[in-house]
Amino acid sequence: MKIIRAKARNPFGKTKIPGAKFVVNQYIGCEHGCRYCYAKFMCKWYDYGEWGKWVIVRENLPELVKGRFVSGWVYMSSVSDAYQPIEAEVKLTRRILRNMNKNIKLRILTKSNLVLRDLDLLKKFRCMEVGLTINSFDEELRKEIEPNTPNMEKRFKALKKLHDAGIRNYGFISPVIPTLTDLDYIIEQTKDFVEYYIIEFLNLKASGDFRSWLKENYPRSYKILIDQAMLDQVISKIHRILAKHKVRVEGIVIHPQSL
Ligand code: SF4
pLDDT tens per residue, range 178-237: 999 999 999 999 999 999 999 999 999 888 889 999 999 999 999 999 999 999 999 999
pLDDT reported for residue 259:
55
62 lines ligand 1 (CB under 6 A): no
User: How many structural domains compose the chain?
Assistant: 1
Determine, yes or no, domain membership for 115. Answer: yes
39 lines ligand 1 (CB under 6 A): yes
Which atom from ligand 1 is nearest to the alpha carbon of 80?
3
Determine, yes or no, domain membership for 75. Answer: yes
The CATH number of the domain holding residue 90 is 3.20.20.70
Q: By three-state DSSP, how is residue 200 classified?
A: strand
What is the Å distance from ligand 1's center to 225 Cα? 21
Cβ of 233: how many Cβ atoms within 10 Å?
12
pLDDT reported for residue 207:
84
Determine, yes or no, domain membership for 220. Answer: yes
Determine, yes or no, domain membership for 259. Answer: no
pLDDT tens per residue, range 62-105: 999 999 999 999 999 999 999 999 999 999 999 999 999 999 99
Determine, yes or no, domain membership for 157. Answer: yes
Which ranges in 118-251 belong to alpha helices (H)? 119-122, 139-145, 152-164, 183-190, 210-217, 219-226, 228-245
Residue 120: domain span: 2-253
Mutate to test the pocket of ligand 1, among 34, 40, 50, 151 (most ligand atoms within 8 A of CB): 34
Determine, yes or no, domain membership for 258. Answer: no
Determine, yes or no, domain membership for 30. Answer: yes
What is the Å distance from ligand 1's center to 188 Cα? 25
What is the Å distance from ligand 1's center to 239 Cα? 27
Q: What is the pTM of this model?
A: 0.96
Determine, yes or no, domain membership for 83. Answer: yes
